[in-house]
Amino acid sequence: TQLLEQSPQFLSIQEGENLTVYCNSSSVFSSLQWYRQEPGEGPVLLVTVVTGGEVKKLKRLTFQFGDARKDSSLHITAAQPGDTGLYLCAGVWGTYKYIFGTGTRLKVLA
């Protein structure tokens, strides 16, 4: 049973636009991670958020963990073609169990 829903599933935008990706669950997680995956490669970690309400910034990417630690969002400002990829959120249960979201496939057009 998939416990993490991501939206939107697909997103195609022009270079310079802003976008937000959502990751929602009915479960509470110890922490939540965001990964980006390029074609033919495995996912690579972007950030981990641990505390409810936490906000982390990574250059043009802003990650937020919901107050109740059940949801998260990823906001990209002024998207660039290099941001193109599959974005995955992963909720962490306990000490070693990960549940991955369904993924958001982003394409940024030049």
| Contacts to another protein by CB under 8 A | 1-2, 4, 6, 9, 30-31, 33, 40-45, 48, 50, 88, 90, 92, 94-103
- Whole-angstrom Cα distance, residue 71 to residue 64? 9
* Residue (66 or 103) nearer to another protein, CB: 103
Neighbours of 71 (CB within 10 A): 20
CB of 106 to another protein, least distance (A): 15
Token pair for 57: 């910034």
CB of 67 to another protein, least distance (A): 18
Backbone angles phi, psi at 80, to 5 degrees: -125, 155
